Amino acid sequence: MVEHLATTGSTRPVTVIHADRAPADHAHREELKQLVDDLPEATLHRWYETPCECACSPAPNVGTVDLTRIDLPDRLVAYLCGPLPFMRGVRSQLLRRGVPASDIHYEVFGPDLWLGRD
């Protein structure tokens, strides 16, 4: 999604949030940073479970995603992807911040949740 916005020259405000165990586990870390840098109205917020020794700018947050630390734009539309526990946590925070459920979209990474329920 971020790549599409960057390649089409989007000027809309974009807030990218990424959470991972550690910088070494963050797939496409430099690519994501470059894509966000290419978007004039984008900001990147990272959370790593373990403290980061990298010279990242801005410095990553430690722990799990905490949306109270981010200014969210009005009329936010959220697109979540990742493991189910991550998305549940972020979705709950978005709802508490007043984002309507209809404006929160998601794609689950992980085992197929309906498999074996036929």
* 45 SS3 class: strand
Q: Looking up tokens 């980061």, which residue turns up? A: 52
pLDDT in tens, the chain (118 residues): 899 999 999 999 999 998 888 878 888 888 999 999 999 999 999 988 888 777 666 778 788 999 998 999 889 999 998 888 889 999 999 999 999 999 999 887 666 665 555 5
Omega before 23 within 30 of 0, i.e. cis: no
pLDDT at 23 (0 to 100): 79
* CATH match of 1-69 with 3.40.50.80: yes
Strand order in the sheet with 42-48: 14-20, 42-48, 61-62
pLDDT at 29 (0 to 100): 85
Tokens representing 39 are: 């978007």
Predicted TM-score (pTM) of this structure: 0.82
Q: Could you tell me which of 94, 91, 75 has the C-alpha nearest to residue 83?
A: 91
CA angle, corner 11, sides to 94 and 6, nearest 5?
Answer: 90
Map out the domains of the chain as residue ranges. 1-69, 72-110
pLDDT at 82 (0 to 100): 85
pLDDT at 17 (0 to 100): 92
pLDDT at 45 (0 to 100): 93
